[in-house]
């Protein structure tokens, strides 16, 4: 899953691995989580503090653990992961988005009528964090400690996820009945973006 090349391309930033560089990488990795959080904020029923913390924590934990898994695994499986990671993200996000759009035509309620199920949240968390696995492999190649990146990536993703949920909640009132369709299209769009970036760039 590629985001801005300036932010997460390890080939450039890992050469100067300091806290500032790790933060930039973390921001780049968090962009898909931000977009998904905005969608969740638009569509989730009764978005209370508990749900906000649950969603943000799930996205952040997966984003933080993926580099750790990549670092522990090392370079042996890198080529296999890179061959399928974008397809996994594309399928998961497209399925969730299409399901949201379909359900929007079945529901008689107007807005904020989606109840985010645990399996859906896990799918979102996996789909938005797969790129972090490859970043973890890059840390392993450079023999760089993974502890600091895991903490920074987790905290940055948590912060962006919180912000995304609040932004979604704010803009929900302007979209009215179209929130689920819009949210579904956003998720599908993220999946397409990920796929295109990996296949053509």
Name the token pair of 183. 């949210």
How far is Cα 140 from Cα 81, in angstroms, rounded to an integer?
15
Domain count across the chain: 1
Domain holding 99, by residue range, is 7-200
The helix/strand/coil state of 114 is strand
Has residue 164 been placed in a domain?
yes
- Give the angle 70-73-79 at the CA atoms, nearest 5°: 75
83: burial class by Cβ within 10 Å (0-12, 13-18, 19+)?
A: exposed
Residue 73: how many CB atoms within 10 A of its CB?
A: 15
* pLDDT tens across the length of the chain (201 residues): 444 443 444 444 444 457 888 898 899 889 989 989 998 998 887 888 999 999 999 999 999 999 999 888 876 666 666 677 778 888 888 888 888 788 777 654 444 556 788 899 999 999 889 888 878 887 887 778 889 999 999 999 999 999 999 998 888 777 665 677 877 888 888 888 888 877 876
| Local structure of residue 143 (DSSP, 8 states) | T
Has residue 2 been placed in a domain?
no
Question: Cα 18 to the chain's mean position, in Å?
Answer: 24
Has residue 118 been placed in a domain?
yes
């Amino acid at each position: 899953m590629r985001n801005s090349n300036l932010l997460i391309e390890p080939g450039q930033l890992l050469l100067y691995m300091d806290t500032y560089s790790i933060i930039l990488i973390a921001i780049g990795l968090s962009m898909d989580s931000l977009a998904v959080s905005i969608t969740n904020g638009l569509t989730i029923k009764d978005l209370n503090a508990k749900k906000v913390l649950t969603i943000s924590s799930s996205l952040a934990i997966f984003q933080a653990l993926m580099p750790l898994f990549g670092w522990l695994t090392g370079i042996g499986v890198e080529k296999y992961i890179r061959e399928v990671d974008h397809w996994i993200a594309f399928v998961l996000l497209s399925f969730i988005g299409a399901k949201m759009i379909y359900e929007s035509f079945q529901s008689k309620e107007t807005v904020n009528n989606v109840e985010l199920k645990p399996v859906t949240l896990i799918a979102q968390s996996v789909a938005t964090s797969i790129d972090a696995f490859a970043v973890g492999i890059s840390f392993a190649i450079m023999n760089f400690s993974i502890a600091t990146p895991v903490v920074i990536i987790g905290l940055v993703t948590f912060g962006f996820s919180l912000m995304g949920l609040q932004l979604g909640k704010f803009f929900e009132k302007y979209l009215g009945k179209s929130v689920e369709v819009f949210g579904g299209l956003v998720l599908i769009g993220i999946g397409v973006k990920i796929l295109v970036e990996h296949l053509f760039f």
